[in-house]
Each structure stands twice: as structure tokens, then as C-alpha cells.
């Protein structure tokens, strides 16, 4: 098995290639290195993996003759624009990357006889649910341009399955956390703010409920889907651990020995989903289950960000420069 990993220097993608290395699984990386964080990960990884890496946008896979000679059996597509706030201010970039990019990737799979495509989606495609748990057959009801672009990519995948006979498995992970996450997300951004003597920003009252999943559990689930998942199936991936955003913020303050006066409540995000919740029975039935808990992993994650400022500091500065206009067209 030779795996092409697109978006290999993003958050989950980089954790995934590290997991493949650890398990001696042959792989090739593709990334367009558009963020400072991805450039940092490229530098970290450069000495070990340069010969197996291509600096490419997924829309250009078919333009690279060397890539087409490598007898790839599986593509795992992490390449995507991901942050909801950014999608509100710039929906076009999400449509370009997450929909057109996936279409181009699927054409590459067809023209190069790729046996297996894994499309990494998100639990956000279900939208907000009050009290139920969504299984893989639940209605898609996305709220943001980000989640709508991921849901649209899934529909493109389904059309390629039916029209062209491509084998595409789709994975819908819950809210990931862990090391190497870009500093725009709740946990790393909050830690970065606290380090810089700023407060944790909380949308509204912070009662939004998220399903928290450690990134190392996610990458193990993806490999389980590759090896044991059924053709053209969809798999939810989650830990079963749910917390309100305000609870996460308070835990971060506790870990760092800070008072709750370091919480700053800001205007609610437009279209902000209240609760994500998924049923993960299907992936458990192929032998995967989460191994890590938020209680033990959150402190490790905070420590990693405290010790690895070089990874996130440049992106953090850029994020703060754009922050005021991030949720307005």
C-alpha cells in the first residue's frame, strides 16, 4: 500500500504522516504550504521526507508527471480550508479549495487508477442538533460556508462513485485538538492570547457544545477505515466527550493557574452552531475506539503550545491582524 497524503503539513495531515512513519507505511506528501504553520512543519520534516513530498495544490495533481509515476494505491485528502470564521469573511476560497479541489483530486484518482480515496469531512456537515445524535444517514444541514463546502464535497464524491465507479470512503471527525493545530482554533488561540497577556475570547455566553476528539485518535481511525472500512461508506469519528466552550476555557485557565477574570465575552459568531453530536457505532463495529481522554490530554496540549512558540507565532500575528474583519464580507 502506497498512500498519497494531501494537505500533509496541515494539523491532522501532519499527525497522520507521523503515524504512517511510525508504522512503516509507505506514503507521499502533497501540500501547497500556504500558511506559516505549514511552512514550519515543512521545515521540521524536511530532512526526513523531502524526496517524498510535492509542493502542489490539489487542483494541480494531474499536472505533475513525477507524481503520476509512483503507483499510488490510496489517497487521503486532508487538503482544505477549515476555519469557520475565515469562511464567513471569504467563502470563495472555501468553495475553490474544498469543492473544486476535491473534484480535481477525484479526476486524478480516475485517470491514475487509484484504488481507494479517503475524503476527510467533518461532523459540522450535520449542522446544529438540540438533543439527538446524528448517524451517517442523518440529513446534512450545514450552517457556515465552511461546513457547506465540506457537505458539497461529499456530494461531489457520491456523484463520482455513481458516475465513474470511484471507491470513496468518507470520514466525519468530531472537533479535533492536539499538537500542531493552527493557532486560529479555540485551544491554541486561547493559549497564545494568555501567553501574550490577553484574554480568552468567548463567543456569546460560551454555551456552545462541542464533541472533542484527540488528533491521534483521529489518525488511528482513518487508518482503520482504510484497512477495514467498506467501499463507498461514511464513518463518523468521535470520542463521546462533550464540553461547552466556556468549560474548555476555564480548564485552560486552571491549567495555567489564572483567574476567570481572563475570560472576555465577545459578540456571537453569525450562524454559530449550538451543538454537534454524532453516533459512532459504525466505526466501532470495524474495531476502532478512542484511547485518549480530554481530561489527560488537554494539559499535555497546553504544554506543547507553551514549549513550541516557533510553530505558531507567525500565524498568530497574521490572525490578529485580520481578526477584526474575519466575520464580515
Active site residues: 123-124, 146
Which grid cell is 102?
476535491
Identify the bridge partners of residue 202 per DSSP, sorted by sequence position: 265
SS3 245: helix
Instruction: Answer whether 13's CB lies under 8 Å from 45's CB.
Output: no
Q: How far apart are CA 153 and CA 134, in angstroms?
A: 19
Element (H, E) at 63: none
CB half-sphere exposure, 93, CA atoms < 13 A: 15
Q: What is the CA radius of gyration of the chain?
A: 19
Residue 271 burial class via C-beta count within 10 angstroms: exposed 0-12, middle 13-18, buried 19 and up:
middle
Element (H, E) at 48: helix 36-49
Q: How far apart are CA 186 and CA 190, in angstroms?
A: 6
Instruction: Answer whether 240's CB lies under 8 Å from 290's CB.
Output: yes
User: In sequence order, what are the residues at sequence separation of 6 or more whose Cβ sits closer than 8 angstroms to the Cβ of residue 174?
Assistant: 123, 210, 211, 212, 213, 236, 237, 238, 239, 276, 278
Element (H, E) at 21: helix 11-22
Q: How far apart are CA 326 and CA 329, in angstroms?
A: 8
Identify the bridge partners of residue 218 per DSSP, sorted by sequence position: none
Q: How far apart are CA 239 and CA 1, in angstroms?
A: 28
Among candidate residues 222, 31, 16, 26, the one with its CA nearest the CA of residue 117? 222
Amino acid at each position: 500500500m502506497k498512500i498519497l497524503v494531501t494537505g500533509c503539513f496541515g494539523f491532522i495531515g501532519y499527525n497522520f504522516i507521523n503515524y504512517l512513519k511510525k508504522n512503516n507505511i509507505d506514503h507521499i506528501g502533497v501540500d501547497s504550504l500556504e500558511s506559516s504553520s505549514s511552512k514550519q512543519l515543512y521545515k521540521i520534516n524536511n530532512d526526513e521526507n523531502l524526496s517524498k513530498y510535492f509542493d502542489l495544490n490539489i487542483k494541480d495533481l494531474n499536472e505533475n508527471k513525477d507524481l503520476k509515476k509512483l503507483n499510488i494505491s490510496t489517497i487521503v485528502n486532508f487538503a482544505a480550508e477549515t476555519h469557520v470564521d475565515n469562511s464567513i469573511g471569504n467563502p470563495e476560497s472555501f468553495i475553490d479549495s474544498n469543492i473544486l479541489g476535491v473534484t480535481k483530486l477525484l479526476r486524478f484518482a480516475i485517470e491514475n487508477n487509484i484504488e481507494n480515496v479517503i475524503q476527510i469531512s467533518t461532523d459540522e456537515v450535520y449542522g446544529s442538533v438540540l438533543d439527538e445524535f446524528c448517524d451517517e444517514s442523518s440529513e446534512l444541514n450545514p450552517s457556515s460556508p465552511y461546513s457547506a463546502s465540506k457537505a458539497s464535497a461529499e456530494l461531489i464524491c457520491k456523484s463520482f462513485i455513481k458516475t465513474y465507479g470511484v471507491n470513496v470512503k468518507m470520514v466525519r471527525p468530531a472537533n479535533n485538538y492536539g499538537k500542531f493545530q493552527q493557532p486560529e482554533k479555540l485551544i491554541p488561540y486561547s493559549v497564545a492570547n494568555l501567553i501574550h497577556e490577553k484574554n480568552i475570547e468567548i463567543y456569546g455566553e460560551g454555551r456552545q457544545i462541542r464533541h472533542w476528539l484527540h488528533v491521534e485518535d483521529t489518525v488511528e481511525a482513518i487508518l482503520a477505515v482504510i484497512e477495514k472500512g467498506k467501499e463507498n461508506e461514511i464513518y463518523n469519528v468521535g470520542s463521546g466527550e462533550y464540553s461547552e466552550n466556556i468549560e474548555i476555557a476555564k480548564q485552560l485557565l486552571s491549567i495555567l493557574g489564572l483567574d476567570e477574570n481572563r475570560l472576555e465575552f465577545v459578540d456571537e459568531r453569525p450562524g454559530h452552531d449550538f451543538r454537534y453530536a454524532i453516533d459512532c457505532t459504525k466505526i466501532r463495529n470495524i474495531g476502532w475506539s478512542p484511547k485518549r481522554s480530554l481530561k489527560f490530554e488537554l494539559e499535555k496540549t497546553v504544554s506543547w503550545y507553551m514549549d513550541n512558540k516557533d510553530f505558531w507565532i507567525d500565524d498568530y500575528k497574521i490572525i490578529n491582524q485580520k481578526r477584526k474583519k474575519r466575520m464580515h464580507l
